[in-house]
Amino acid sequence: MFNVILAGGSGTRFWPKSRELFPKQLIRIVGSKTMVQATAERLLALSPVENLFLVTNESHALETCRQLVPFGFHSENLIAEPVARNTAAAIGLAARVLAESDPQEVMGIYPADHIINNTEVFERTVKKAVEVARQGYLVTLGAQPHRPETGYGYIKQGLPLSGFDQVFMAERFTEKPDLISAQRFVDDGNYFWNCGVFFWKVSTILEHIRQLLPDLFEHLDNLYFHLVAQKGRYPFRLLDPEGAGIFERLPNESVDFGIMEKAEKVAMIPCSMEWNDVGSWTTLEDLYEKDENGNVFSSNVVSLNSKGSIIQGEGRLIATVGIENMIIVDTPDALLICDKNQAQDVKKIVETIKKEGKPQATLHPTVHKPWGSYTVLEAGTEHLVKRIDVNPGEMLSLQSHEHRSENWTVLSGTARVQKDKEILNLNKSESIFIPKGSKHRISNPGDSVLSILEVQLGDILKEEDIIRYEDAYGRPVKNSS
Amino acid sequence: MFNVILAGGSGTRFWPKSRELFPKQLIRIVGSKTMVQATAERLLALSPVENLFLVTNESHALETCRQLVPFGFHSENLIAEPVARNTAAAIGLAARVLAESDPQEVMGIYPADHIINNTEVFERTVKKAVEVARQGYLVTLGAQPHRPETGYGYIKQGLPLSGFDQVFMAERFTEKPDLISAQRFVDDGNYFWNCGVFFWKVSTILEHIRQLLPDLFEHLDNLYFHLVAQKGRYPFRLLDPEGAGIFERLPNESVDFGIMEKAEKVAMIPCSMEWNDVGSWTTLEDLYEKDENGNVFSSNVVSLNSKGSIIQGEGRLIATVGIENMIIVDTPDALLICDKNQAQDVKKIVETIKKEGKPQATLHPTVHKPWGSYTVLEAGTEHLVKRIDVNPGEMLSLQSHEHRSENWTVLSGTARVQKDKEILNLNKSESIFIPKGSKHRISNPGDSVLSILEVQLGDILKEEDIIRYEDAYGRPVKNSS
């Protein structure tokens, strides 16, 4: 079977841990892996890695590859969208790509940013779903609702499907009900949460798109034709400018509304896996054990008389006195303090922050790059101090700057440095000065992370002041002249 | 007249802006000056700078000098106590020092960490108080109470003092009353807040100490004999070890309880100055104008649906959603979030933090030194990155380290660097490597601040790993051998 991860998060509800360029699926919420890594790992137990596909926005493509390639993921199985056009377009494009390999195979669709804890139950249910899908059904999983959540979609269980145990026709889909309806659904016992996990044959879904979403279907062949593999270390597939133009004009439609609610042969499998859509900071209360005062605290918190609160720090000391039902999220460059009952409004404040042009809506102070990451330690008016961490075997682009000089000191590991025509190795505590205009490149020939302390000095200190001459990751370079 | 500032704060109530080594009087709460600077400036309008004295703990002496010398303060007028022994001991020692100059002169006593806004009224009242004190009275100022504050002492106004306008005998002192009594005092109209500001002739207070606190009086001559001027740029006066031993055994007594409540000739002058003892973070509501939602916010706060709250940040983005009656204080290494009604409990949480051995109880990440300051930008296990700012004309000690090498890059200004026998100038963007064991010294020969980025590398990276050979500020050096 094929497995397709939909990674479409926008990074607002988990701000300030998530950012526009680092949405929920690319960060760690629980455990040691990011959410997309945990999702991929779960699927690799079901099917070989070459059958794992992923659809995401092009601005997240390199970072997604960087996170998944260590798990064996094939970068060319990543399909990058130029803009978000909801799940029907993403699924349609993925199905068109898979049709080239085997249109009769089943594809599973999984959100990148949900948590599923009971892996064994999940795997057993997927196997059953694949069997049902092979019979030409559109199959969806339903989770047992245990509270009248108004933020979810509900599926009403219909007649049992003969020949299968515990498989039902889906009688009705209801998107985000009001509280009274939601409570009624929970009490009824025949309603299930729509987990956004689907199974169908490639040919089945394409046929449904042809019938129900013809405005999408008519472009799929053309879009497939315009999907181009990128150059460099992560050759993911991206629509060329013409393809991007077509994609942008596609209808903005969810697969639930556009297909599932209208199709005839829709089956639902109730699933007892522990499922969590990780929809807001309050989710942490489901994922972590509370202390005796009902708090979920990260480390280095000192509290007095505080209850029912969630604190997510990153090591800085947080002291609380008398707080109640608060969410506190502390990151190096932004702090969120939110009433727990207003957690859904975090996205509103992120909109304001974005409108005000503050960088905290978009980026972390630690910026991940295909070769590793850099962290801004101090930004002065005429100086900028960064720690640069280069992963083993990786190299930055060959580049120069018009407005700044750079001074590097190796903190750990060994650096191979090109400075104009000279190439030399620098060990721990050794330094080098890179004057303005000099062509330079850092690489890490060793097998541990190379850390460099960089001091930039100049009148203009912007990320954009990079003239690239060569790049290992396919990023645009200056035409040789 | 003499003016004596009592600077005895312990730095807990305004944590995390204040720290044990940076109590309230040494930080900025309002305006551009620290509280001790504002207090000194107010007193310099009353009397020449050579008559300005200050008593503080020895751990705050250098920093106090550093803050006041630019105002003309004579470092030798600073009397450093080895431990805090309450106001009677501090005042007794100051009076004994002043008795050497002129025992018949009046001395005024002022807390270093109160805010007085109406300077003109204050100056007029002091002049009147000095006249009364010349008649042999112990004089105290009383502020009009405008709320039933239970944290203050109250003075009951007695009979008018003949020959003066609006001067009264003090009939009774009441320390921190309960709420019912406090409300009664406010309604009564004859009660005033005890501002901790006193005036008396040096001889008057010494005579009162002789009669009422003989256990203190008998040691004053001996203590005076053991007060020794320090070497170096700030020659403040410190008790030698024998004097310190005597001081530590003095009774722990306040001048209010030990003298004022028991003496006969105590006058009180009601004063309409705007006085604030800046007792906790909620004071900011008296000192700043609230916005339309009752908030007092510093810059870079984005808020949604938040009311009645106080936010003091230092530039990092703070976003709030739905908070109410909260105090949020954000500093680079510690964050406080406190219910406004529990502001008095901040000191309790600081006790806990201190007990747990966390450095945030004691120091800021920016550490002030007699020559300037340093700021830790990043602390790794084997590297430490600091920005060092050296004031014009200042120099660090000649030193070496056993466990670390250092790499310096000049960010701005010019550094004169001694490295073993070599002396050289480094300009912006230039670097130098100081190996382990090398004797080195930085000075700033220029007339603007010198900023250096220092990268320390070593297996042990502690402030204590400094062997000092020479120091301009009288700090202990290694015996030459």
- Among A263-272, A288-297, B146-155, the least confident range: B146-155
Segment (H or E) for A188: helix A179-188
- Among A240-254, A462-476, B156-170, the least confident range: A462-476
- The residues in B 327-366 lying below 8 A from A, measured between CB atoms, are 328, 330, 333-339, 341-343, 345-346, 348-350, 352-353, 356, 358, 360
Q: Find the mean pLDDT for residues A330-338.
A: 95
In this complex, which of A330, A353, A377 lies closest to B378 when CB atoms are compared?
Answer: A377
A199 contacts A139 by C-beta, under 8 angstroms: yes
Report yes or no: B376 at the A interface, CB cutoff 8 Å: no
Chain B residue closest to A337 (CA)? B320
C-alpha B312/C-alpha B293 separation (Å) is 16
For residue B189, count CB atoms less than 10 angstroms from its CB and return exposed for 0-12, middle for 13-18, buried for 19 or more: exposed
Evaluate if residue A479 carries a pLDDT over 70.
no
Evaluate if residue A60 carries a pLDDT over 80.
yes
C-alpha A328/C-alpha A317 separation (Å) is 12
User: Which of the pair, B90 or B279, is modelled with greater confidence?
Assistant: B90
Q: pLDDT tens, B131-188?
A: 999 999 999 999 999 889 888 899 999 999 999 999 999 999 998 899 999 999 999 9
Evaluate if residue A10 carries a pLDDT over 80.
no
Quick one: which of B77, B448, B451 has its CA closest to B229? Answer: B77
Instruction: Establish whether domains A2-276 and A366-470 are of one fold.
Output: no
Report yes or no: A324 at the B interface, CB cutoff 8 Å: yes
> What pLDDT does B362 receive?
87
Q: Find the mean pLDDT for residues A416-437.
A: 94
ipTM metric: 0.85
Report yes or no: B412 at the A interface, CB cutoff 8 Å: yes
C-alpha A106/C-alpha A137 separation (Å) is 10
> What pLDDT does B364 receive?
86
Inter-chain CB proximity A319 and B353 less than 8 Å:
yes
Evaluate if residue B481 carries a pLDDT over 70.
no
- Among A275-279, B60-64, B437-441, the least confident range: A275-279
Inter-chain CB proximity B316 and A335 less than 8 Å:
yes
DSSP A108-137: EEEETT-EE--HHHHHHHHHHHHHHHHTT-
Q: pLDDT tens, A172-193?
A: 999 889 999 999 999 999 999 9
**Which residues is B89 bridged to in the sheet?**
none
Q: Which CATH superfamily is domain B366-470 in?
A: Jelly Rolls (2.60.120.10)
C-alpha B242/C-alpha B223 separation (Å) is 9
Q: Find the mean pLDDT for residues B342-352.
A: 93
Domain boundaries, chain A: 2-276, 281-355, 366-470
A428 contacts B457 by C-beta, under 8 angstroms: yes
How distant is the Cα of A215 from the closest Cα of chain B, in angstroms?
Answer: 41
Evaluate if residue A291 carries a pLDDT over 80.
yes
> What pLDDT does B479 receive?
60
Q: pLDDT tens, B248-291?
A: 999 999 999 999 999 999 999 999 888 888 888 998 998 899 99
C-alpha B284/C-alpha B388 separation (Å) is 32
User: Which of the pair, B31 or A99, is modelled with greater confidence?
Assistant: A99
Evaluate if residue A313 carries a pLDDT over 70.
yes
| A16 upstream amide cis, omega within 30 of 0 | yes
Fold of B2-276: Spore Coat Polysaccharide Biosynthesis Protein SpsA; Chain A (3.90.550)
> What pLDDT does B480 receive?
44
> What pLDDT does A153 receive?
92
Chain B hits for A304, CB-CB cut-off 8 Å, are 342, 345, 348-349, 352
> What pLDDT does B393 receive?
93
pLDDT-derived band at B221 (thresholds 50, 70, 90) equals very high
